[in-house]
């Protein structure tokens, strides 16, 4: 039970919501019928009006105005080929450029193969129909088109819902890990934020890489879930034995994520975020560019946050001290090129440090792609 009296949702219940979201209530689909002959237009309307909402146009130019105004609501268009001012293939080609989701059918009075091939290639035509047509045959073709549209919409809706679930799950795991130690509260979020700031200043970095980097940042310490709290929260100097246990967390992380296909590359990155440029890091002693680029980025972000956050054994250090320490480790602990990028971005590190949650909210790639408010995401999980 949560503070507001609502029940905490299980992941099974959340997944059920995903499935239900893929099967929305059956609202009538909107069809646009385009033909310059009134009798043909009337026949089309009579055939289809019992199952669908109908709007009509008598030529391509008029129909384009309708699409401009209502295109997002239109599910399917049936257009005649031979019309004054604009032929059906030209009209449907323009529709494809602005509203590719709309299912398109072409009515034609003759079997001109060149026209049919051209229409299929340019218009992304679902099907052509020869005139005269049987109403029952037309109804079946339209129904097939609508089912194809719904299938694609349901797939997109489910993928989005699953992305929401994936993101909130990652955030929840990250928050749960940070909560093991009051001194590391928010650590994973801040490391992720600093990593994304570094990526922002790098050349030739696309959103896919940033999304994977963000996931890696949020999960970079997940291996510590398997380490006892009394070790993680230990104050003072660590014994060699305890330090060896701490050092096992990158490999534990890799084992935890290894069987999740979407996180294959992320698990490799996280196994390497304590490697050092000069080869003296752990667990494998990788050197230079043997270390994945994302792990080299997270190493700088992790170190900066560790120094500028309070710990059980010391108070937080000022930005300038952390900056100077990172610069002094250029070419030994850290990738020299990334340290140079850090120097360019250090003013943004200092700004972000003072308001990490809001700054992360603005820089997050996962949130941008999902396009869902953070509070709404939290409701889905909790």
Which amino acids are annotated catalytic?
Answer: 224
Helix (H) or strand (E) holding 245: helix 240-246
Name the token pair of 142: 């339209």
Q: CA 164 to CA 127: how far, in whole Å?
A: 35
User: How many CB atoms are located within 10 Å of the residue 281 CB?
Assistant: 21
Q: 311 in helix, strand or coil? A: strand
Name the token pair of 62: 């008029």
Output phi, psi for 33, to 5 deg.
-110, 130
Q: Do residues 168 and 378 make contact, with C-beta atoms less than 8 angstroms apart?
A: yes
Q: CA 368 to CA 60: how far, in whole Å?
A: 37
Q: CA 93 to CA 250: how far, in whole Å?
A: 53
Name the token pair of 69: 């105004």
Q: CA 125 to CA 121: how far, in whole Å?
A: 7
Q: Do residues 363 and 217 make contact, with C-beta atoms less than 8 angstroms apart?
A: no
């Amino acid at each position: 039970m949560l503070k507001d009296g609502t029940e905490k949702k299980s992941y099974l219940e959340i997944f059920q919501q995903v499935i239900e979201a893929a099967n929305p209530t059956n609202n009538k689909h909107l069809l646009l019928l385009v033909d310059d002959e009134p009798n043909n237009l009337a026949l089309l309307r009579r055939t289809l009006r019992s199952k669908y909402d109908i709007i009509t146009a008598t030529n391509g130019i008029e129909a384009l105005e309708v699409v401009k105004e209502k295109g997002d609501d239109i599910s399917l268009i049936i257009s005649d080929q031979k019309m004054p001012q604009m032929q059906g293939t030209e009209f449907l080609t323009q529709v494809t450029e602005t509203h590719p989701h709309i299912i398109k059918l072409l009515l034609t009075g003759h079997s001109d193969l060149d026209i049919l091939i051209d229409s299929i290639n340019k218009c992304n035509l679902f099907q052509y129909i020869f005139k005269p047509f049987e109403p029952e045959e037309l109804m079946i073709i339209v129904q097939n088109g609508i089912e194809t549209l719904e299938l694609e919409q349901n797939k997109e809706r489910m993928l989005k819902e699953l992305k929401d679930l994936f993101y909130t799950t990652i955030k929840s795991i990250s928050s749960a890990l940070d909560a093991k130690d009051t001194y590391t509260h928010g650590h994973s979020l801040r490391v992720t934020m600093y990593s994304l700031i570094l990526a922002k200043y790098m050349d030739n970095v696309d959103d896919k890489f940033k999304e994977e980097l963000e996931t890696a940042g949020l999960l970079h310490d997940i291996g510590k879930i398997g380490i006892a709290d009394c070790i993680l929260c230990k104050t003072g100097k660590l014994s060699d034995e305890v330090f060896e246990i701490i050092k096992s967390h990158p490999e534990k992380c890799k084992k935890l994520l290894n069987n999740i296909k979407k996180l294959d590359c992320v698990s490799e990155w996280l196994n390497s975020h304590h490697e050092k440029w000069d080869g003296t890091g752990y667990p494998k002693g990788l050197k230079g560019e043997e270390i994945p680029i994302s792990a080299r980025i997270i190493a700088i972000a992790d170190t900066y946050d560790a120094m500028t956050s309070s710990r059980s054994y010391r108070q937080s250090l000022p930005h300038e001290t952390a900056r100077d320490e990172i610069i002094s480790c250029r070419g030994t602990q850290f990738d020299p090129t990334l340290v140079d990028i850090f120097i360019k971005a250090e003013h943004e590190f200092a700004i972000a440090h003072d308001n990490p949650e809001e700054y992360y909210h603005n820089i997050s790639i996962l949130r941008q792609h999902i396009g869902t408010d953070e509070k709404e995401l939290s409701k889905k999980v909790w």
